[in-house]
Amino acid sequence: MKGISEYSKSPPPPFSKRGDSPLLFTNDLKFPRISSKFGSIRSSFPALYPLPSTLYPVVLLPTLTSLLLILSYPKFNQGWLAWFALAPLTVAVWKAKDLKTALLGGLAAGFFFYLGILYWIYPTMRAGGVNVPVSLAGWAALSLTLSVEFLVVSVFGFYLKKPGRAVWPYMFAAGWTLMEWLKILVTLKGVWFPWFMLGYTQWGSPKIIQIVSVTGTYGLSFAVALSGALLGCALMRKGGIWKKAYGLLPALILIGGLFAFGTAGLKKAGGAKLKGQAAFSMLQPSIELYQKWDERYARGIEERIERLLERAGASKIIVWPENALPGWIDEPQCRDWLKKVSAGTGTFNIVGSVSQGDGKHVAAFLLDEKGSVAASYYKRRLVPFGEYVPLRELLGRYLSVVSELGEFEKGTLNQKLFEADGVKMGIGICYESVFPYLARSDVSKGADLLVNVTNDGWYLDTAAPYQHFLANIFRAAENRKSLVRAANNGISALIDPWGRISAKTALNDYTILNVNAPLYENPGKTFYVEHGDWFCWLCLLLAGAFLLALVFI
């Protein structure tokens, strides 16, 4: 075997008559092996430094997938790249000679993706007073933990190679979809951070995303993953360019079908009969996050909100962001001020706050025209390490900062809808928007409209507020309901039932957004609302049947 210096001096192999490409994705994809000069290092530290036997499937190809995925999400917003993003990883998994190579490739893809896309973890922790070593360690640890998603999908794909490449892309896409479903389900009883779904990359293509009303966002994620897997397999096909292009035909048919379905859906939307509009005002006070709990700033915060309330106009419902009050709603001074200013508007107010009346809760309250509390909602899905600490006692032994983090109680899954001015509303707080089953549950109970209140001031001027915002687009489109969002520092918005942004604010603006949210006559429940995660169950059935066939046939 040649060393690196010898390998670099060797002339490139000639292209065959079959039309081999000089690009990275050659027909045979023979990866150069690591130099034997590293053998002494490897033998000295066999456990600590298990160097991979091939460079491309472990590092280069997975890292290319990471880069393409990062560019697909905000702030880059190059969603078209997502359709190709998984191709390098699928090539790496297919070409992996053993399980270890596939495992390391998946781990690398996941780690570098999350390290890049969650770069905002570091400045967020630093802004909260966490020191540099702990901030860096937290960022890296979270990225490494979440990379398990890619690792599992890669191992799944590795074991399903036996029948050949004709079926394999579909099974790989099914595995990806099941992983997205699993990380949502895990949060029912455990802890995860399901911030990203592959389908979210298509937020800027209203025609493409209409399929989510049938399959949920899982179906769109499947389509994007399948496209990448088909491309990867096409690049590995032997033969000329036309034979490779033929392998992409299913992907082109799939994308064309999504486009046609979405075009028809939006055309039908144009003829939907409007039964009325709900006049909303969303407050965006842009309060400095670390001033909220400092009594010196309390009056200044109240004045900022009062000035915005004066601009609410003829709105029937005013929505305040999450944790808008400069204190607990149970505190007499805070409660009295809130009642006075909300009664002064003469209309309904939905106010995000924290409560400690019957346990500490992150909450939203519906206040009637007189400023009295008419209904309350307790957040059902809390933010790990922000609103509660998993394994607090264990982690507290090693990290003193853990004892300083907040601890709230979560609300029950089944809570009553808010109703104001004849409009029934399903409420979500902060990152509850990333859980499809919560919004679907509210719509199943009769919600006419969805409301999200949040405080993204934690994330400063990073990509995080934009990433967080995307989930709301898909909750609106899945359920065919308008969604209004009030965010402390942005992005506040009105999203129509087809996932189109009708109005929105800029990040960090001090403003109020007055909108008329459309309500349609007899819209009916979408297929997704009626049947839930049926597409995920289908993926599970097919993948399970396929695995059983491999074992017993």
How far apart CA 348 and CA 346 sit, in angstroms, is: 7
Do 256 and 291 fall into the same domain?
no
Do 263 and 278 fall into the same domain?
no
Look up tokens 């109680």; give the residue: 409
Is the distance from CB of 85 to CB of 68 less than 8 angstroms? yes
- Is the model's pLDDT at 34 over the cut of 70? no
How far apart CA 237 and CA 246 sit, in angstroms, is: 10
Is 180 within a domain? yes
Q: What is the pLDDT of residue 163?
A: 60
Do 54 and 157 fall into the same domain?
yes
Is the distance from CB of 236 to CB of 20 less than 8 angstroms? no
Secondary structure (DSSP) of 325-383: SSS-TTSHHHHHHHHHHHHHHTSEEEEEEEE-BTB-EEEEEEE-TTS-EEEEEE-SSPP
- Is the model's pLDDT at 502 over the cut of 90? yes
Is the distance from CB of 300 to CB of 546 less than 8 angstroms? no
Q: What is the pLDDT of residue 402?
A: 54
Do 284 and 237 fall into the same domain?
no
- What region, left, alpha or beta, does residue 524 occupy, with left being phi > 0 and alpha being psi -120 to 50 degrees? left
Our count of domains for the chain comes to 2
Neighbours of 45 (CB within 10 A): 11
Neighbours of 335 (CB within 10 A): 17
3-state secondary structure of 485: strand
Neighbours of 339 (CB within 10 A): 15
- The 3-class secondary structure across 397-429, one letter per residue, is CCCHHHHHCCCCCCCCCCCCCEEECCEEEEEEE
Do 373 and 460 fall into the same domain?
yes
Is 129 within a domain? yes
Q: What is the pLDDT of residue 271?
A: 79
Q: Is 5 exposed, middle or buried (0-12, 13-18, 19+ CB in 10 A)?
A: exposed
Which is more confident, 85 or 167?
Answer: 85
Look up tokens 């909300």; give the residue: 342
CA of 280: how far to CAs of 215, 342, 449, 503, 514, in Å? Answer: 30, 14, 11, 12, 6
Considering the chain, what percentage of its residues have pLDDT values greater than 70?
Answer: 86
Domain stops at, among 211, 245, 269: 269
Model confidence at 149, pLDDT cuts 50, 70, 90, reads: very high
Q: Is the peptide bond before 211 cis (omega within 30 degrees of 0)?
A: no
Is the distance from CB of 196 to CB of 216 less than 8 angstroms? no
How far apart CA 286 and CA 490 sit, in angstroms, is: 8
Q: Can you give the residue range of the structural domain that contains 166?
A: 50-269
Do 294 and 251 fall into the same domain?
no
Q: What is the pLDDT of residue 23?
A: 34
Do 176 and 260 fall into the same domain?
yes
Q: Which of 39, 59, 64, 57 is nearest to 49 (CA)?
A: 39
Is 355 within a domain? yes
Q: What is the pLDDT of residue 340?
A: 95
Record the tokens describing residue 49, joined without a space: 């430094």
Do 448 and 507 fall into the same domain?
yes
Do 397 and 504 fall into the same domain?
yes
Q: Which of 449, 438, 436, 442 is nearest to 410 (CA)?
A: 438
Q: What is the pLDDT of residue 399?
A: 59
Q: What is the pLDDT of residue 48?
A: 40
Record the tokens describing residue 40, joined without a space: 């002494």
Do 215 and 287 fall into the same domain?
no
Do 307 and 232 fall into the same domain?
no
Average pLDDT, the chain: 86
Is 538 within a domain? no
Q: What pLDDT, in 10s, does the model give residues 335-370?
A: 999 999 999 999 999 999 988 777 789 999 999 999
3-state secondary structure of 519: strand
Which is more confident, 288 or 110?
Answer: 110
In this structure, the dihedral spanned by the alpha carbons of residues 65, 69, 72 and 76, taken in order and rounded to 10 degrees, is -100
Q: What is the pLDDT of residue 547?
A: 85
Q: Which of the residue ranges 118-132, 233-247, 264-278, 296-310 would you say has the lowest mean pLDDT?
A: 233-247
Considering the chain, what percentage of its residues have pLDDT values greater than 90?
Answer: 64
Model confidence at 291, pLDDT cuts 50, 70, 90, reads: confident
Q: What is the pLDDT of residue 22?
A: 32
Is 14 within a domain? no
Domain stops at, among 269, 294, 314: 269
Is the distance from CB of 154 to CB of 179 less than 8 angstroms? no
Q: Which of 471, 399, 398 is nearest to 438 (CA)?
A: 471
Is the distance from CB of 153 to CB of 119 less than 8 angstroms? no
Model confidence at 91, pLDDT cuts 50, 70, 90, reads: very high
Sheet holding 501-504, edge to edge: 418-420, 423-429, 449-454, 483-487, 493-495, 501-504
- Is the model's pLDDT at 97 over the cut of 70? yes
Is 546 within a domain? no
Do 182 and 288 fall into the same domain?
no
Is 118 within a domain? yes
Q: What is the pLDDT of residue 396?
A: 56
Domain stops at, among 234, 253, 269: 269
Q: In 521-552, at which residue ranges do the beta strands (DSSP E only) sit?
A: none
Q: What is the pLDDT of residue 550?
A: 79
Is 152 within a domain? yes
Q: What pLDDT, in 10s, does the model give residues 68-88?
A: 999 999 999 999 999 999 999
Q: Which of the residue ranges 259-263, 411-415, 452-456 would you say has the lowest mean pLDDT?
A: 411-415
For position 278, which CATH number holds? 3.60.110.10
Neighbours of 264 (CB within 10 A): 12
Element (DSSP H or E) covering residue 144: helix 132-146
Q: Which residues are catalytic?
A: 322, 379, 430
Element (DSSP H or E) covering residue 276: strand 274-284
